[in-house]
Structure 1
Amino acid sequence: MTILITIVLFIAVVAAAAYLVLTYNPVFGARSADERLAAVRRSPQYNGKEFVNPAHGASVSTSLGENLSTLRDFLRRDPARRPAKPLPIDRWAPLPEEQHDRTAVTWFGHSAVLLELEGRILWLDPMLGQAPSPFPSIGGKRYGGLPAEIADLPDIDAVVLSHDHYDHLDYGTILQLKDRVRHFIVPLGVGAHLERWGVEPGRIEEHDWWDEFEWEGLRFACTPAQHFSGRSLNDRGQTLWCSWVIQGERSRLFFSGDGGYSTHFAEIGRKYGPFDVTLMECGQYDRRWAPIHMTPEQTVQAHQDVQGGLLIPIHWGAFTLALHTWTDPVQRAAAAAAEHGVHIATPRIGEKVLLGSGSYPSSHWWINE
């Protein structure tokens, strides 16, 4: 009996500790309330309990067998999943004043992209932390450095987020950026996280799929993605995920966020294409989560579906979140692009891509890195 009581008490203490951490540690964010919750409940993507992918509810399997097989495969070490030495990184510098009417794209690794869009500075999914984890000391570390420190960057006109996963929405990054960002543009539900982290509600606007709006002379559309959300053990599907259409006077861009391949890309292309450039997810795929992450070949097809001009593959080059080698995404995407006659840019981290320049980065810099 004493042993049984000890076991029960141990379980109770562990459960209580887990509850306290999940409830009071701000890294896990917050749930929507009041007006934000009402907007969530009105969404056609919300089924009364959670957000879903309307096409066929695509998600990743959470069965015990799939989880065990994934864990087994991750435990099998493969040095090719990470680069053997530090990656080449270009230092970021702003466009010269005479080019402020141009558009430049700078990839900071993974899905973090700094846009200089006709005189405005936008951050897309600015995850600049060292690990995509609620506890940065745990989890796969970033492959190397960054093109610039946050303190060295100019003030940001707007941060645009695609969803709330740790490799896209980083608590530490937001804490450092929040007082230097004028506006946050996010999908439904994500604003609650930002508010808990000290961002004033008036600087946050949330949107549902197919919302169209203007901000500071730029035109935006919140568009579908086939993915999921969640930062804790019990908040799966409580915030929306999305892709974004961003249009200035001269440039039109598509940012895919995360997601699997489906018919929504063609729908976006019909409604908003063609695009000068697409920033398209390419990396962290596996057959077990094929519905929520594209293969590189699907990345190229999605680019064609949305009627893209220049393709820049993202969601690779910073973290190991899947079982493929770290260079597999870009190698396969480049091969598929060549096969289908798609223009692809493969910039180094920090290398500026100036739209309309006629010459884009195309070196295979990852070889022997």
Structure 2
Amino acid sequence: MTAAPSVHPVIDLASATGAVDALIVAGGFEERAFKVLEEARFHPDAHCVIIRYANNVLNNRTHFVRYLTEARKKLAEERIHVVTLRDTDIAGFSADFNKALANLPRDVRAMAVDISGMPAYLICTVLRILREHRSRERQTILYTSAQDYTPTRAEYDRIIADAHEEIELVPRSMVLEMGDNLVLDAFSGYRSQAGKTCLVIFAGYDPHRTAGVLDAVNPALLLLLYGKPGNPELAWRLDLSQRLHKKFERGRRTATEIVSTLEVSESLETLEEYYNYLIDDYDLVIAPISSKMDTLATYLFWERYGEVQLTFPIPIGYNPDNCPQGASTTYQMVLEPRRSLFRSQDVPATP
């Protein structure tokens, strides 16, 4: 497998964004999702694509206007492109996003994607479409961590005070209860005649979504990948995730591994190891429910092994009051051209 991209902190966002021809950003309600656009310094011919959410999240329009206003401070109106995602209408979004990319000038090559305000299914969709349009070009991925996450350390301490190995009380979360299990046509993979499935779950802090995807897939094997935060001060979150998911380790053949929630290479290496061991006998389904960087690893793995299916447990809604607070470090990685990741090099050139 092609070497995984390295993750580096961004020291100067103004300089980093000044080198790109187009920035793709989603108008999310988390403060960290706004940081890159706020600190960006575009060159005179640059473009910005803003993904607008049209759903029932409180103050949705207010959030979008904030992004649009900031972009207008830095770019001419004709260089700002808005693509709307209505609820989870990925088919409609994909058509509009494809059109927006196709209408960009041919010399717009150096493109950056800020994934900080995107849910997992949108990260994968945006990268798939962008990397098809710019298959000969590198893309820069930007991700901003939060200053404070939910649940907080104080909540964790309270929850485990009277708990044993497992935790039954679900801590407060930004996402509401499980709604649907989203399987997009583009990521549906290829199912074998054997019909035996190994489900890989990047486990986070929403066990109701884990339960939902388990019910939907009903796998013969389960692989739980627990995330170890890149910040040592957040190490307790690994313990919380493990306790919340302990009950799922019973009742079926289950393996568990610990991977970094920041270093994409660790997740890719683990997925590769299990893929090589299982793929002759099992279909592989991956559900990224943890960090956005785990979602990035999931996408890159699918890009290499298109027979793998990606599935996205979708909540019925979001509570912005419980979202991560503040904006901390922004990280950057550069993805090699899509063509270089394929086992076959017979990939059509970008028109």
Task: Judge same fold: TM > 0.5, yes or no.
Answer: no
Tell me which protein shows more helix as a share of its residues.
2
Structure number with greater CO (CA < 8 Å, separation at least 6) is 2
Q: TM-score normalised to the size of structure 1?
A: 0.30
Q: TM-score normalised to the size of structure 2?
A: 0.31
